[in-house]
Amino acid sequence: MQVDAKIEAFTVGRDREMDVSLAKYDVLGSMAHIRMLQSVGLLEADELELLLAELKSIYKLAESGKFVIEEGVEDVHSQVEMLLTRKLGDIGKKIHSGRSRNDQVLVDLKLFARTEIAKTVSAVNDLFEVLIAQSNRYKDVLLPGYTHLQVAMPSSFGLWFGAYAESLADDMQLLLSAWKITNRNPLGSAAGYGSSFPLNRQMTTDLLGFDTMNYNVVYAQMGRGKMERTVANALASVAATISKLAFDACMFTSQNFGFIKLPDEFTTGSSIMPHKKNPDVFELTRAKCNKIQSLPQQIMLITNNLPSGYFRDLQIIKEIFIPAFAELHDCIEMTALMMAQVKVNTEILNDPRYDFLFSVEEVNRLTLSGVPFRDAYKQVGLEIEAGNFKPDKTVNHTHEGSIGNLCNEEITAYKNEIMKQFGFEKVRLAEKKLVE
């Protein structure tokens, strides 16, 4: 391989591969940009119509999965411009007025992330609904609660399922923050210092359905990497919830626990042990989610200590950022399927090994009858030590968020209030209007 070919391969890297995912968003950005160019006199009306018609064809190509970046073409922006020029001649060359590939990739990544955040929110909501339904279904089935992996106090499947549902609701807050930072328009910042053309940045902001613009053009460029890191933190939070759930599920399905059972299709056997049913789907989910949790740190280390302005370092972020959404979505989908079909052991606490779960209940009962708490604690401790403790397995927890008062309706209302704030419909209508 010649030196220049090696250099090209090294500098382009996986950019062409990643840019295919951005193709339809690059077209959307171009549609908004040229409408604005025509409004400020940099394109004629008939030129605009020709360009829009051709861009719509390219958009359909990208939607169908048939868009390719040809050999020798550096990126998606060059490919789109080349297709336009091939069809329309010099008119195709006019679309780049007033912008740089720097703000093109910024807007492409934001439009891509915006779409993927919406998909993630929908998937998280689906899993939330499964968990809340299972929490309500099994609210009266008790299971051991643990601290330090030692048998501690009574819990319930209502609490267990519901805890992960509420965790996802908090994760939704981070997704909302990521959405708000993503949904700001960088188009018009050009190479990071604006343009002497009389651009109308508010117009492209409205056309693309952004809430507002990144006003300062230098900051718009500084947002490259920051947006991805912010979104990655939200994805990592969802992944952390699912990873913890996966660990619980793997542990609870083992013979030593036997709290839940997965359908056979979610398990695999051993090559030499015929009795084995391994929770491979949950184990892979745990590993994939743990990998996703490293994403913010990877982005931080790529961008760390870069001064203002554009640097080629930023290109590498695409390689880890773009695929992360699909991987997390697969994990969410698998978890929802498994949680919806999991079989719960309703007789766990009949096993005498869990009798000591109820020691705190007995201490509390004695305290309510007038025995000072420390004396009640000592009395029950001595009974346990002497082997005389007889548990009363009646549990009477009534405060908010406890076994007898799960507050699932309140948790659902909290989640729904967060979801209302995204404004997905505004974005969907703006994009639909552009392409139609």
Where helices occur in 254-395 by DSSP H, the ranges are 280-292, 295-303, 317-341, 359-368, 373-386
CB atoms within 10 A of CB 295: 23
Res 311: pLDDT: 86
> Is the pLDDT assigned to residue 3 strictly greater than 70?
no
- In angstroms, the CA 358 to CA 49 distance is 75
Which pLDDT band holds residue 12 (cuts at 50, 70, 90)? confident
pTM: 0.93
Phi-psi region of 66 (alpha: psi -120 to 50; beta: other; left: phi over 0): alpha
Residue 302 in contact with residue 317, Cβ under 8 Å?
yes
- pLDDT tens digits along 98-148: 999 999 999 999 999 999 999 999 999 999 999 999 999 999 999 999 999
Q: Under CATH, which architecture does the 3-96 domain have?
A: Orthogonal Bundle (1.10)
Give the lowest-confidence range in 16-20, 156-160, 357-361: 16-20
Give me the numbers of helices (H) and strands (E) for the chain, helices first please. 17, 6
**3-class secondary structure, 97:** coil
- pLDDT tens digits along 294-332: 999 999 999 998 899 888 889 999 999 999 999 999 999
Percent above pLDDT 70 for the chain? 97
What would the two tokens of residue 132 be? 């809340």
Mean pLDDT value of segment 80-106: 94
Residue 185 in contact with residue 104, Cβ under 8 Å?
no
Res 272: pLDDT: 62
Res 273: pLDDT: 67
38 strand-pairing partners: none
What residues does each domain of the chain span?
Answer: 3-96, 102-200+211-350+406-435, 352-386
150 strand-pairing partners: 147
Q: Give Dmax (Cα) for the chain.
A: 94
Residues in the chain: 436
Which is the CATH superfamily of the domain at 102-200+211-350+406-435? Fumarase/aspartase (Central domain) (1.20.200.10)
Which pLDDT band holds residue 336 (cuts at 50, 70, 90)? very high
- pLDDT tens digits along 370-386: 999 999 999 999 988 99
Mean pLDDT value of segment 29-45: 97
Among candidate residues 392, 389, 391, 372, the one with its CA nearest the CA of residue 380: 389
Which amino acid would we find at residue 289? C
Higher local confidence (pLDDT), 161 or 355: 161
Res 271: pLDDT: 58
> Is the pLDDT assigned to residue 270 strictly greater than 70?
no
